[in-house]
Amino acid sequence: MSDKPTILVQLDTDPLPSVFDRVVAVDAGVQHVFSYGGITPQNVMPLVHGCIFTRGGSDLARTAIFIGGSDVAAGEAVLAEVKKHLIPQYGLSVSLMLDPNGANTTAAAAVRAAGRHLDLSTAQSLILGGTGPVGQRVARLLAKAGGHVRVGSRQKERAEAVCAAVRAHIPYAQIEAISVSSSAAAPEALEGRNLIVAAGAAGVVMLPRKLRNGVKSIRVMIDLNGVPPPGIEGVELNDKGVERNGIIRYGALGVGGTKMKIHKSAIAKLFESNNAVLDIEEVYNLALQLP
């Protein structure tokens, strides 16, 4: 067992590396966090070499890379490039985690919550704000579980692009795009849905009460927006599996506590080996193992 200090190399695709991700890393017990912003596939190679050519043998498990930023696609491109510069055949690799804007850890927490109340293999879900980093990951997890997923956006083409990206990973995905550009679209979007996840921008009401009143199929509502007013009217910030009027509700803080546990557990996992790759599926599997 190596006694070298743990180092997390934070590679952020935004110009300023996320303070949130840095704080969580420290709270997860990482001894040193090296933070870099403005990371692209073009400039990342020397940083990866700095990780793999400095320590050897079991010491390499004491270095890990965390990829963040506000753009999921940019983060994915950096992850793909980082993998190209590892040399696992010579043991020269470090563990990797992708969590752009907290998307993987937040989506894992939300879907884990939904799965406590619904059979996700048959769930009929609607994701409002489904084109953002978090919504995209929620869509992927729900589609992987086998249920039918509707991705809402004010611009249907944006939702269609998310559906295509999900299908690229999960060919059997039952997923469709829907326009939610006005309240007139609500009946069609909500029709037959038993799970609603609001992953819209902070402080935006995505589902007013009057639009969902009378939709008998809704069983679970999860609102990830933590900035008032709520993203789903009738879901409180601290709701955590609370049932009111026959609907189970989770608010942003109700999900956020689990998200933090998942995030810290994933960071700890990085230092158990030098070859873990934690993307959405791996993070979700970790989430399912938490008590």
Ligand X SMILES: NC(=O)c1ccc[n+]([C@@H]2O[C@H](COP(=O)([O-])OP(=O)(O)OC[C@H]3O[C@@H](n4cnc5c(N)ncnc54)[C@H](OP(=O)(O)O)[C@@H]3O)[C@@H](O)[C@H]2O)c1
Site string for ligand X, 163-202 (x = CB under 6 A): ------------------------------------xxxx
Of 64 and 134, which CB lies nearer to ligand X in the complex structure?
A: 134
Of 122 and 155, which CB lies nearer to ligand X in the complex structure?
A: 155
CB of 151 to ligand X, least distance (A): 9
Measure the CA angle with vertex 49, ends 1 and 23; round to 5°.
65
Measure the CA angle with vertex 223, ends 136 and 127; round to 5°.
35
Of 157 and 191, which CB lies nearer to ligand X in the complex structure?
A: 157
Of 82 and 134, which CB lies nearer to ligand X in the complex structure?
A: 134
Of 155 and 285, which CB lies nearer to ligand X in the complex structure?
A: 155
Residue ranges in 247-266 that form contacts with ligand X under rule CB under 6 A: 252, 255-256, 259
User: Residue 64 corresponds to which tokens in the numbers above?
Assistant: 């890990």
**Does residue 134 interact with ligand X by CB under 6 A?**
yes
User: Residue 286 corresponds to which tokens in the numbers above?
Assistant: 């970790």
CB of 38 to ligand X, least distance (A): 19
Site string for ligand X, 16-55 (x = CB under 6 A): ----------------------------------------
Of 147 and 200, which CB lies nearer to ligand X in the complex structure?
A: 200
Report d(CA 147, CA 119) in Å as an integer. Answer: 8
Report d(CA 135, CA 23) in Å as an integer. Answer: 24
Site string for ligand X, 93-112 (x = CB under 6 A): --------xx---x------
Total binding residues toward ligand X, as defined by CB under 6 A: 25
CB of 226 to ligand X, least distance (A): 5
Cα Rg for the chain, rounded, in angstroms?
19
Measure the CA angle with vertex 140, ends 135 and 146; round to 5°.
125
CB of 52 to ligand X, least distance (A): 31
CB of 234 to ligand X, least distance (A): 17
**Does residue 131 interact with ligand X by CB under 6 A?**
yes
Residue ranges in 138-157 that form contacts with ligand X under rule CB under 6 A: 153-155
Cβ within 8 Å of residue 171, ≥6 positions away: none
Q: Which residues bind ligand X (CB under 6 A)?
A: 101-102, 106, 129, 131-135, 153-155, 158, 199-202, 204, 224-226, 252, 255-256, 259
